[in-house]
Amino acid sequence: MGCRVNQVETERLSHTGARYGYYPTAEEQPPDLIIINTCSVTSESDRQARQLIRRLAREHPQAGLVVTGCYAQAQSAELAAMDGVVLVVGNAEKERLWEHLPLLSPRQDSAGIEATGQWASLQEVALVDHFAERSRAFLQVQDGCDRRCTFCTIPALRGASRSFSPDYVLAQAARYQQNGYRELVLTGINMGSYGRDRQPPTALAELVSRLLAARGESRIRLSSLDPLDLDEALLQQFMPGSGLCPYVHLSIQAGDERILKRMGRGYGRDLVAEKVARLRSICPEVVLGADVIAGFPTESPAAFGQTLALLQEIGVTFLHVFRYSDRPGTPASAIPARFRVAEREIKRRAETLRQWAASRLPAIAAQRIGSQEEVLVESCRDGLARGKSGGFLPVRMVDDGRVRVGWLYRVNISGYDSNYQELVGTLCT
C-alpha cells in the first residue's frame, strides 16, 4: 500500500524471502503467510489498511498475516490485536522481517508479536533483479525525513533521513539495466535530502550526474521533490539530451504565503515560481506535476484561490490532490476547531483542483503535436502500443508487431485523442 518507497521495499522483501525458505505462491495455491506493507499518510490510508487486513483474514483463514510499514510503526498494538495477525513489524525492522518468522507457527491464535527496533543504516540491503512493473523500475536512494511539516507524521514513522551509498545506488541501477529496464525512477521519502547525512556529505545532483554517466540505454526519472531542493546543480542535470526525463513533480502543498508558513514548509510562493522559471529556462519542454493539500486548517477561500493561481502561473499539468487529514500528535491537529475547514468544503475544493488539472492535459498535448517524443512502451494490445513520454505524457501508436513492452522508441506526434486523453503518434523509421 502507499508510496513508491513501499513498493521498492515490498519487492526487496519478495526477493530476500527466498534466503529464508519463503517463496511467492502461485495464484491457485493457498498462502501460509500474507505480508501487508501499510501506509499511514492519511486517516483514509489507516482505514484502508484495517479493511484489507480484515478481508484477508476472512478470505485466507489458514494464513498468518504479517503487517509492516508506516501504520505498523504507528499503531503496532492495535494491529497485533486484529484477528489473523501473527506479526507486526515497524519500519525500523522491516528489512529484517524474515528473521522474526521462525518464531511463529503458520497461524497462531494468540495476539500477534510486535517487533520493534532502532533505525538502521541503509547499507546492508539486497539488490533486486526485477520489479513488479515490467516497463520501469523504482530505485530507492534514501529513507526518512528531517523536515517537520506541521501536518505530517512521516518523520516519526520513518526516522531521520538516511541515504544509501552512491556505490549501492549505482550497483542497483546496473542490476536493473542488466535485466532490461530502460527507465529507472529515483525515489525516497524526502529524496532532495539525499547525501546530507553521509560523511563526507554528497548531494542528489552528484548522484544523478553519476547515474546519467552510467545509464547506457536507460533514461532516469526523478520522483517527488521539495521546491527547496531544486538547487542550481540539480537544475543543470535537466539539460536536454542528458538522459534525465523532462518531468518534475513538486511537493508544493499550497500557494498561499500564510498557509505555507503554518504548514512549516520553509518557502513561499515566490521561491516556487523562481525555481520553475529557472527550470524552464534550462529545459523548456519540462512537464510539471505537483502535490497539493486541500482544506488545511485556516485555509480561507482567498487562500485556496492563491493555490489555484500559483498552479496556473507555473503551468502544472499533473496534480495529486490530498484532502487535509488530521494526524494525531501533529501541530496542525492542535489547531482549534473554529479554524477548521468543513469537510464538505474540503471535498469541494479538492474536486475543484482535480477538475482544473483535468483541463490542463489537452493544452499541453496541443503543444506537442508535430514534435518527436521518446516513449517507454507499457503495453501492447489489439494492435496498439501505449506508453509514456519523457514528460510522462500518455502516448499511443500502431504496433506493427515489432514493438516491445519496456523498450524506448522515438515517436512522431500527430494528434491528441480527447476520449482516451492520450497523444497519438507513429513510430519513427
Please compute the mean of the pLDDT values over residues 145-150 and round it to a whole number. Answer: 92
Fold of 369-427: OB fold (Dihydrolipoamide Acetyltransferase, E2P) (2.40.50)
Q: Identify whether the C-beta of residue 280 lies closer than 8 Å to the C-beta of residue 255.
A: no
Neighbouring residues of 292: CB distance < 8 A, sequence distance ≥ 6 = 252, 253, 254, 307, 311, 319, 320, 321, 322, 353
Q: What is the pLDDT confidence band of residue 115, given thresholds at 50, 70 and 90?
A: low
pLDDT of 110 above 90: no
CATH homologous superfamily of 137-364: tm_1862 like domain (3.80.30.20)
Please give the model's pTM, rounded to 2 decimal places: 0.89
Q: How confident is the model at residue 18 (pLDDT cuts 50, 70, 90)?
A: confident
**Which range (88-97, 126-135, 169-178) has the least confidence?**
126-135
Residue that wins the pLDDT comparison between 301 and 42: 301
Residue 258, pLDDT > 60, answer: yes
Sorted by where each begins, the domain ranges of the chain are 4-115, 137-364, 369-427
Per the listing, cell 545532483 goes with 205
Q: Print the SS3 string covering 186-201.
A: EECCCHHHCCCCCCCC
pLDDT at 117: 61
**Interval 268-312: pLDDT, tens:** 999 999 999 999 999 999 999 999 999 999 999 999 999 999 999
Residue 107: pLDDT band with limits 50, 70, 90: very low
Q: What is the mean pLDDT of residues 360-366?
A: 90
Measured in degrees and rounded to the nearest 5, phi and psi for residue 103 equal -75, -10
Output the pLDDT for position 106.
47
Task: Please classify residue 288 by burial: count the beta carbons closer than 10 Å to its beta carbon, then call 0-12 exposed, 13-18 middle and 19+ buried.
Answer: buried
